[in-house]
C-alpha cells in the first residue's frame, strides 16, 4: 500500500473547507489525489517517515537540490513551479499533488507576486537520511 497516496487523500479531505460536522453521515471515503508508481524507495528493514510543511513566500524559490528518495508534495494553497533537470517545468496548484523523483537536480518557485504557497511534504527514507542534498 502506498502511504504517501493515503496521506495526500487524508490531507485533501481535511483541507476541503467543509466542516466535519456538516459532512454527510456514513463511512469516510478518501478522495484519490495522486496515484503513481515510483522507483527508488528505501528497501531496508526500517524506514523513516517524515511529514513536513512549508510556506513559500511570493517570489521565493528553493535551493537547487536533489533527494535520495522520492518526495510526495501536496499543495494546500497557491501554486508551485517545479523545474527538474532534463524535464519541462511543472506547475502544480492547490489541491494537487506530485512526486519529485530521486536523484534529479531540481528547484521550485512560487511565481506569484502576492500569494504564498503552502505545501505538505511526505518523505520516506532510510533512517537518518538528509531530506535534501544541495547542489552546487
Instruction: Give the domain ranges of the chain.
Output: 3-21+28-128
Q: How far apart are CA 30 and CA 7, in angstroms?
A: 10
The rounded average pLDDT for each run of 10 residues, N- to C-terminus, in the chain (136 residues) is 46 50 77 91 95 97 97 97 96 97 97 97 97 94
Q: Which of 32, 108, 34, 115 is nearest to 77 (CA)?
A: 115
pLDDT of residue 5: 45
Q: How far is CA 37 from CA 101, 110, 122, in A?
A: 11, 27, 15
Whole-model pTM: value is 0.78
Q: Nearest 5°: phi and psi at 19?
A: -55, 140
CB atoms within 10 A of CB 10: 16
pLDDT of residue 69: 98
pLDDT of residue 96: 97
Q: CATH classification of 3-21+28-128 is 3.30.420.40, yes or no?
A: no
Amino acid at each position: 500500500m502506498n502511504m504517501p497516496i493515503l496521506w495526500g487523500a487524508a490531507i485533501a479531505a481535511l483541507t476541503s473547507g467543509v466542516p466535519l460536522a456538516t459532512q454527510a453521515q456514513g463511512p469516510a471515503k478518501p478522495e484519490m489525489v495522486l496515484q503513481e508508481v515510483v522507483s527508488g524507495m528505501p528497501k531496508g528493514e526500517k524506514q523513516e517517515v517524515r511529514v513536513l510543511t512549508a510556506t513559500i513566500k511570493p517570489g521565493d524559490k528553493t535551493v537547487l537540490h536533489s533527494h535520495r528518495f522520492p518526495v510526495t508534495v501536496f499543495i494546500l494553497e497557491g501554486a508551485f513551479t517545479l523545474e527538474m533537470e532534463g524535464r519541462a517545468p511543472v506547475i502544480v496548484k492547490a489541491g494537487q499533488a506530485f512526486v519529485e523523483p530521486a536523484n534529479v537536480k531540481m528547484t521550485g518557485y512560487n511565481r506569484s507576486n502576492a500569494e504564498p504557497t503552502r505545501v505538505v511534504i511526505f518523505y520516506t527514507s532510510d533512517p537518518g537520511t538528509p531530506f535534501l542534498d544541495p547542489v552546487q
